[in-house]
Amino acid sequence: MMASSPHFFRLTSVSRIMLTVLAALLPGTAVAVWLFGCAVLLQIALATTTALAAEALVLRWRGLPVRPYLADGSAVVTAWLIALAFPPLGVWWLVVVGTLFAIVVAKHLYGGLGNNPFNPAMVAYALMIVSFPAQMSQWAAPMLSLDTLQQLQWVFWRELPVGMTLDAISSATPLDYLKTQLMNGQTVPQLLADSAHFSILAGVKMEWLAVAWLLGGLFLLQQRIMTWHAPVALLLAVAVLSGVMHLIDPLRYAPPVVHLFSGATMFAAWFIVTDPVSGSTTPKGKLIFAAGVGILLYVIRVWGSFPDGVAFAVLIMNIAVPFIDRYTRPPVFGQQHKKITTKAAKS
């Protein structure tokens, strides 16, 4: 059984949890490969290799045993989360630099596993999108026309087949397209009626990636790796806020289903805000923390500069976690009884 953060009592429990999380990521990974090709696996390989190498070097520098910490799987999970959050056809050094920063600075600078106040994967994403917005915004178009070798050439050397341009392999994400076209004067009903970009739930084909994250999250819930509080709170906050705004002005604000099944909403709900280290640990605190992420996520999406604000929403709420936990901590066993006894004695 997993202990409350920041402490893990048994290495075997940490390893089991991390392996289960990796298994839960498989449906989403498979859908991502179906949509974008083997470049997804390449990004995972780059991130995993970088994470393990950085973890080993920092552990050795700190004088800690390398093998047990590498075997716990935490670095691999961080690497997978980073790779799956980054553009599949992003240049190779994006995921490498992001992973290095996540492991060395966001994780080990604060003492390693169990001590980091910020989610390492979200730190990596926020750093890279602020530093290299153009490269981080070049998302691949679903169902790429590039074969595996051509994808490798693009990721490592930025070379495309003769006659092919960047526009042929990249496209705006559904949220980016929605935000841009609304600024150009189009309305939400017009955009959602565009079958080239939107389907039943959200973006064409991209909605299945959100469904895959949902299935993986439900598997984690069934395995009792996490509780329902954080995922439900985030999804409910996004649904309620987007629903209210859609009722107020349906021409300017997309309905809840678009926000729930677009971008990284499902990914964040099941794999990011459920982090037992950087997130809140009390049941009531998890509700507050995740609801705050959901509200900030929607605010950044609709009124901010970024089409999807998951990373920034999570990092802002990470700052508030100590305060949330302090005021939502359940009373110590016997404490309430003591108060009642003292009050009765005074009477």
pLDDT digits (tens, 9 = 90+) for 102-132: 999 999 999 988 899 999 999 999 999 999 9
Which is more confident, 7 or 246? 246
pLDDT of residue 11: 45
Task: Name the average pLDDT for the chain.
Answer: 89
What is the tens place of the pLDDT at every residue in 242-283?
999 999 999 999 999 999 999 999 999 999 999 999 999 999
At residue 339, does pLDDT exceed 90? no
Range of lowest pLDDT (2-16, 100-114, 296-310): 2-16
> Do 141 and 171 meet the contact criterion of CB atoms below 8 Å apart?
yes
Q: Which whole number is the average pLDDT over 308-325?
A: 95
Record the tokens describing residue 62, joined without a space: 């700190």
Amino acid identity at 188: V
pLDDT at 338 over 90: no
Q: How far apart are CA 178 and CA 180, in angstroms?
A: 6
Look at residue 203 and give its three-state secondary structure: strand
Q: pLDDT at position 334, please?
A: 56
Contact 90, 155 (CB under 8 A): yes
Q: Is the per-residue pLDDT at 346 higher than 70?
A: no
Q: What is the pLDDT of residues 175-213, one digit of tens each?
A: 999 999 999 999 999 999 988 788 888 888 889 999 999
Around 198, how many Cα atoms within 13 Å sit in the side-chain half-sphere? 22
